């Protein structure tokens, strides 16, 4: 897999609600804390303002625009930001399972949105590298994003058999396409892990590590993959990713190891060997330095949490803080 697919597969984004909002006239709706979920939305018709708690300026959303809210903060959608907002919980049923909710008679504005919980370990690898609002403006060449949005609206309206699964897969397509388009912005000077993937040289180095994490990578070997000198790769990689290439490799290996410990019965010695460590002791030392506990403690803690809570708690702070994108 490619690095973005690797990370999303490891974090297991689970879409637990996709729905539509139809509004008419003048309106303003305040949405509560999203509980560490990624909110993804697309304007099908009409326009509105989007305001997120902690962000100074509201964003104007036009027909065809898409947005991601990766921090889970409360936010507001409105036709006019001067209007006092109504609480979203008075409009949307707590037991809703999708479909389209109409507010103020509908007819002027239509939005589809999805919420994703990250079930995998260390959600910060994705969330910390994104700004509070990712605004993707509609462009003529964004047909790959428009198609799943329009199809999702059709499924939400018609509620046909099998629609739940179709909407779930469409939601994932919209999320990934939105991230792709945000990555493309990095070609104009963005900084951060996601933008680094879009950089031809740094992306090649990251791709090599993801393709074969057990390989005995050296800075020289990665520089050759990237077509750069060792010193130039080291400086550019650190500036874009927030870690040196070797630190990134170690942390990626430990994230893979943590997932294996949580989801398989493989012994530590087998996991260590599969990730390029000749001794269990060397692997355990690296794991404890990065993850904050021993491999066996990690495996036992994860198994216990899964048994008692039904799903894994989101844990942040694995990779070093990247430079804000």
Res 321: pLDDT: 39
Res 198: pLDDT: 83
d(CA 116, CA 175): 9
Residue with more model confidence, 282 or 145: 282
Q: Each residue of 270-281: pLDDT tens digit?
A: 999 999 999 999
Q: Is the pLDDT of residue 134 over 60?
A: yes
Helix axes 295-309, 280-291, angle to 10 degrees: 60
* pLDDT band at residue 191 under the 50/70/90 scheme: low
Q: Is the pLDDT of residue 211 over 80?
A: yes
d(CA 99, CA 154): 10
Domain annotation for the chain: domains and CATH numbers: 3-188 (2.60.120.280), 194-309 (1.10.10.60)
Q: Is the pLDDT of residue 325 over 50?
A: no
Lowest mean pLDDT among 178-182, 190-194, 238-242: 190-194
Residue with more model confidence, 136 or 15: 136
- Which H, E and C letters describe 240-302, residue by residue? HHCCCHHHHHHHHHHHHHHHHHHHCCCCHHHHHHHCCCCCHHHHHHHHHHHHCCCHHHHHHHH
Residue with more model confidence, 60 or 303: 60
d(CA 186, CA 194): 8
Q: Is 162 exposed, middle or buried (0-12, 13-18, 19+ CB in 10 A)?
A: exposed
For the segment 177-200, the average pLDDT, to the nearest whole number, is 77
- The number of residues making up the chain comes to 325
Res 15: pLDDT: 75
Res 121: pLDDT: 53
Lowest mean pLDDT among 98-102, 136-140, 185-189: 185-189
Count Cα atoms within 13 angstroms, Cβ side, for 238.
10
Mean pLDDT of the chain: 83
For the segment 263-268, the average pLDDT, to the nearest whole number, is 89
d(CA 170, CA 154): 11
Q: Each residue of 215-256: pLDDT tens digit?
A: 999 999 999 999 999 999 999 999 988 889 999 999 999 989
Q: Decide: 120 and 180 in contact? Cβ < 8 Å.
A: no
Q: Decide: 52 and 34 in contact? Cβ < 8 Å.
A: no
Residue with more model confidence, 50 or 70: 50
Q: Is the pLDDT of residue 10 over 80?
A: no
The DSSP code sequence of 19-71 is EEEEE-SS-EEEE---TTPEEEEEEEES-EEEEETT-SS-EEE-TT-EEEETT
For the segment 292-312, the average pLDDT, to the nearest whole number, is 59
Res 186: pLDDT: 62
Residue with more model confidence, 198 or 21: 21
Res 122: pLDDT: 59
């Amino acid at each position: 897999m490619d690095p973005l697919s690797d990370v999303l597969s490891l974090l297991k984004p689970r879409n637990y609600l996709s729905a539509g909002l139809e509004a008419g006239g003048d309106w303003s709706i305040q949405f509560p804390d999203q509980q560490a979920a990624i909110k993804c939305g697309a304007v099908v018709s009409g326009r509105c303002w989007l305001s997120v708690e902690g962000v100074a300026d509201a964003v104007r959303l036009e027909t065809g625009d898409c947005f991601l809210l990766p921090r889970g903060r409360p936010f507001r959608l409105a036709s006019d930001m001067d209007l006092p907002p109504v609480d979203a919980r008075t409009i949307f049923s707590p037991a809703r399972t999708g479909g389209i909710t109409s507010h103020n008679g509908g007819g002027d504005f239509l939005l589809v949105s999805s919420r994703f919980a990250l079930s995998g370990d260390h959600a910060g690898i994705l969330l910390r590298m994104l700004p509070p609002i990712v605004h993707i403006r509609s462009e003529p060449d964004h047909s790959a994003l428009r198609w799943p949005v329009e199809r999702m609206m059709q499924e939400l309206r018609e509620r046909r058999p099998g629609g739940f699964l179709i909407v779930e897969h469409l939601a994932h397509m919209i999320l990934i396409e939105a991230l792709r388009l945000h990555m493309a912005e990095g070609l104009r000077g963005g900084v951060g892990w996601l933008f680094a993937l879009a950089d031809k040289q740094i992306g090649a180095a990251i791709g090599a590590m993801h393709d074969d994490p057990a390989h005995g990578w050296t800075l020289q070997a990665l520089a050759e993959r990237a077509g750069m000198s060792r010193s130039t790769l080291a400086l550019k990689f650190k500036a874009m990713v927030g870690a040196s290439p070797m630190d990134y490799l170690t942390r990626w290996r430990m994230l893979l190891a943590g997932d294996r410990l949580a989801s398989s019965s493989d012994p530590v010695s087998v996991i260590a060997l599969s990730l390029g460590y000749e001794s269990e002791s060397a692997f355990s030392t690296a794991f404890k330095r990065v993850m904050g506990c021993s491999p066996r403690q990690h495996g036992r803690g994860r198994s216990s949490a899964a048994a008692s809570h039904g799903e894994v708690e989101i844990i942040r702070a694995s990779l070093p803080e990247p430079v804000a994108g």
